[in-house]
């Protein structure tokens, strides 16, 4: 069996180390790079990210990585955005103003509202383990969530939530104190996880392993 290869985009933001270690743990060859050429010719790409939307886009632009990511995704090869990396796939974010994203998936990123739910303030960020739910009419077969039982808990930490225009792009949902979270999205081989598979224990590793197979 040939060794699976994955390219992790290094743009100076986020917990890149953990993502790389998780893939290495799965026996994968990981290339961490900000080289556009390497990126375009990769088998599969992971766009990690922790932090603010605006500065993440600025860092991608500074490194001239926006065009290469768009070029790569047109080749119908697998791309996985994690957390902020998933949010960047959308058209724009309303995180402290309105900021343009990569626009690979129609829709927006909005703040999780701070409202009262069942007598308590909904705490922001949404931190912790929450259950994955199959959206109505959806299926995880043949996707990165194949073989994951519904209501499996994964680790989230975020204050903003993705809202794809087309509900068919919702791969998995979660509810956080009465608010619907896009836990994972999918458009063909373009994937996004709001949660951190690299921090979701055995289940998360299984999801990453699935990504190596799609």
CB of 157 to another protein, least distance (A): 4
- Tokens, residue 163: 């809202």
Using only the alpha carbons of the chain, give its radius of gyration: 16
* Of residues 15 and 31, the one with the C-beta less far from another protein: 15
Catalytic annotation present for 198: yes
Place of tokens 């974010």: 93
Which CB atom, from 124 or from 189, has the smaller least distance to another protein? 124
In the complex, the smallest distance separating the C-beta of residue 129 from another protein, rounded to whole angstroms, is: 4
Binding site residues, another protein, CB under 8 A: 14-18, 21-22, 24-25, 50-52, 114, 121, 123-125, 127-130, 151-153, 155, 157-159, 176-177, 196, 198-205
* Least CB distance to another protein at residue 21 (A): 5
By C-alpha distance, which of 70, 15, 11 is closest to 35? 11
Q: Token pair of 176, please?
A: 């956080």
Q: Is 95 a catalytic residue?
A: no
Q: In Å, what is the CA distance from 100 to each residue of 105, 172, 209?
A: 12, 24, 31
Active-site entry in 83, 99, 158, 193: 83
Closer of 126 and 187 to another protein (Cβ):
126
CA gap 79, 100 in Å, rounded: 19
Active-site residue, 121 included: no
| Rounded (5°) CA angle 214-170-153 | 80
Q: Smallest distance, Å, CB 78 to another protein? A: 21
Q: Catalytic residues, which ones?
A: 83, 196, 198
């Amino acid at each position: 069996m040939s060794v699976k290869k994955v390219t992790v985009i290094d743009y100076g933001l986020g917990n890149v180390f953990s993502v790389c270690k998780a893939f290495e743990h799965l026996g994968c060859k990981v290339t961490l790079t900000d080289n556009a050429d390497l990126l375009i010719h990769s088998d599969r790409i992971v766009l990690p990210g922790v932090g603010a939307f605006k500065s993440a886009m600025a860092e991608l632009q500074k490194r001239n990585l926006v065009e290469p990511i768009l070029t790569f995704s047109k080749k119908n090869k697998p791309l996985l955005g994690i957390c902020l990396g998933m949010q960047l796939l959308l058209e724009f974010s309303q995180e402290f103003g309105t900021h343009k994203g990569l626009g690979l998936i129609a829709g927006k990123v909005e703040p999780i509202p701070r409202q009262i739910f069942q007598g308590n303030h909904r705490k922001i960020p949404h931190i912790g383990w929450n259950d994955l739910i199959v959206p109505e009419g959806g299926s995880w077969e043949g996707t990165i969530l194949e073989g994951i039982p519904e209501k499996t808990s994964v680790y989230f930490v975020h204050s903003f939530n993705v809202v794809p225009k087309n509900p068919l792009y919702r791969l998995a949902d979660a509810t956080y104190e009465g608010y619907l979270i896009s836990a994972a999205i999918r458009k063909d081989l373009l994937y996004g996880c709001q949660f951190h598979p690299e921090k979701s224990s055995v289940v998360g590793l299984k999801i990453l392993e699935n990504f190596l197979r799609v």
